[in-house]
Amino acid sequence: MPAALLHWAASICVAGAALGCIYILIECFAVMRFARRPGKADAPAPPVSILLPVYGAEPRQFQRCAAFCRQDYPGPVQLVFATHDPTDPALEVVRDLQAAFPDQPIALEIEPRAHGASRKVSNLVNMMPLVRHDVIVTADSDIEVGAHYVSTLVGELDDPAVGAVTCVYHGTAGTGLWSRISALAINTHFLPDAVTAMALHLAKPCFGATIAMRRSTLDQIGGFVAFIDCVADDYMLGQAVRSTGLRVVILPFSVGHICWEKDFSALLGQQLRSARTIRSINPLGHIGMILTHPFPLALLAALLGGVGALFPAALVASALALGCRALLAGCVKHAFGLERQRYWLIPLQELILFAAYLASFLGTTVNWRGRRYRVTSDGRLEKHRNEGWQQVR
């Protein structure tokens, strides 16, 4: 490659790294403004049904599920669990919950039918006949919540102009290096990226970690079955709610997401699925997200520039990028009351996430809970040709 072309490419990378550092500083400001507030103290407390699809054994599963039974909420709370597999090890956890909380309404649906590609949404469809109440909260099985979780979410639904309530999530590491990197990636990339995009009015998300809505709103948008084949079912559900003229409220607090990736392959697969999901929602925005990777861009500039005049600038940009990312980690920790972040993992995390970002443009296959899917151009999931599972309509 000609020296002039290398110099030009290195210059572009240095400029991109500089812009990326500026963007991270903007994220710091956006995150610090995203202050938490309690739920409405004087809001009614209608009966609530919490839907929890489960799949397999997860870390601290009983303790996290028990938190849903210990809510500081004056109204009735029903828990509904569902799985497709009658031998699922999560069933033991549900039965332990039923024994530990005999006064807590806990329903369980074991239904092997898959109504579409998304196993999670299929479980939600299967749960609906067991749902008793008109306020419905969906929650991922891998989240952890506090005692005021239900009251904070449901209080916002007192406003008839609100159709759904959701919140961001932060990463909580399990054990091992890869789960720690996964949690750090959520806290220093996903969470601040989402908060900043909302602050700059660049995105109108809805986060599947937890969503509260009225049954009437869910019926109005076609029920869960309308999102059975969507790779970003949470985003599409939010869009459907907004299309009715109702608002989606994103509360300024977070729930925890347990990260339990056991190896590099699991971490890379999770990051690749996340990147390809974003790409399916907003292709142009996904391209622009290259600026959220200033450290790899600065390293690439150093490699392309060799020992030329741009080499010192590339090294300075690398150091600045790491410093900005560490500052952002501290801002997220302070704003959301998280544990101290593992700053020494940031360089490795940055390289892994950049690799997943680049790879997201090279295919359409994603892995989800041990199954492979193909993401179509319109953001829908299709069974991979080598997968043998069945679904019904």
One domain for residues 21 and 162: no
What's the CA gap between 51 and 74, in Å, rounded? 19
One domain for residues 218 and 316: no
DSSP 40: P
One domain for residues 95 and 188: yes
One domain for residues 296 and 271: no
One domain for residues 14 and 80: no
One domain for residues 7 and 75: no
Q: Is residue 189 part of a domain?
A: yes
Tell me, what's the pLDDT at 185? 96
Q: Is residue 182 part of a domain?
A: yes
Q: What pLDDT tens digit does each residue of the chain (393 aa) get?
A: 577 777 788 889 999 999 999 999 999 999 999 866 555 556 678 999 999 999 888 888 999 999 999 999 999 999 999 998 999 999 999 999 999 999 999 999 998 888 777 888 999 999 999 999 999 999 998 999 999 999 989 989 989 999 999 999 999 998 899 999 999 999 999 999 999 999 999 989 999 999 999 999 999 999 999 999 888 899 999 999 999 999 999 998 899 999 989 999 999 999 998 999 898 888 998 999 999 999 999 999 988 866 567 788 889 999 999 999 999 999 999 999 998 889 999 999 999 999 999 999 998 887 766 677 778 777 777 775 554 444 443
Tell me, what's the pLDDT at 230? 86
Tell me, what's the pLDDT at 392? 40
pTM score, whole prediction: 0.90
One domain for residues 186 and 318: no
How many structural domains are present in the chain?
2
Q: What is the dihedral of CA 369, 371, 373, 379, to 10 degrees?
A: -20
Three-state DSSP state, 51: strand
| Helix/strand/coil percent split, the chain, to 5 | 50, 20, 30
One domain for residues 220 and 352: no
Residue 349, classified by CB atoms within 10 Å of its CB into exposed (0-12), middle (13-18) or buried (19+), is buried
One domain for residues 137 and 189: yes
What's the CA angle centered on 360, arms 359 and 362, to 5 degrees? 65
Domain boundaries, position 58:
48-279
Tell me, what's the pLDDT at 40? 58
CATH of the domain at 133: 3.90.550.10
What's the CA gap between 7 and 363, in Å, rounded? 30
Tell me, what's the pLDDT at 241? 97
One domain for residues 57 and 109: yes
Q: What end-to-end distance do the CA atoms of the chain give, in Å?
A: 55
- List Cβ neighbours of 22 (8 Å cut-off, separation of 6 or more): none
Q: Is residue 239 part of a domain?
A: yes
One domain for residues 312 and 214: no
